[in-house]
Amino acid sequence: MKILITGAAGQIGSGLAKRLCDKHELTLVDNLRNGYAEHLKDDEDRFIAPFHDVDVATADLFSHCGTKFDSYDAIVHLAAISALADCETNPLETLHCNVAATANVLDFARKMNVPHVVFSSTSAIYENCDTDVFTEDLEVNPRLYYSLSKKMCEELVHTYREHYGSKVTILRFFNVFGPDGDQTRPNPPLLNFVYRELTKGKAPILSGDGEQVRDFICIDDVVSMLDLCLEKKPNDVFNVCTGVAVSVNQISKWVAEALGKEDLGLDHKPAGELWDSYPDLFQGEYGLDKNIVGKETTRYSKGSYQKAKDLLGWEPNTDIESEVKRVTLQIK
List of residues 6+ apart from 276 with CB closer than 8 A:
none
pLDDT of 69 higher than 50: no
In this structure, the strands spanning 213-218 and 175-177 are: parallel
- Looking at the predicted structure, is the pLDDT value of residue 62 above 70? no
Average pLDDT over residues 199-221: 91
DSSP 97: I
What is the pLDDT, as a whole number, of residue 294?
Answer: 63
* pTM > 0.85: yes
Domain boundaries defined on the chain: 2-178+217-242+304-317
Rounded CA separation 263/253 (Å): 9
Task: Compute the average pLDDT of residues 279-305.
Answer: 73
- The CATH number given to 2-178+217-242+304-317 is 3.40.50.720
pLDDT in tens, 1-48: 999 999 999 999 999 999 999 999 999 999 988 888 999 999 889 999
What pLDDT is attached to residue 275?
A: 67
∠ CA 130-277-56 to the nearest 5 degrees? Answer: 70
Please give the Cα distance from 155 to 149 (Å, whole number): 10
Burial group, residue 80, by CB count within 10 angstroms (0-12, 13-18, 19+): buried
CA angle 198, 204, 209 (to 5 degrees): 145
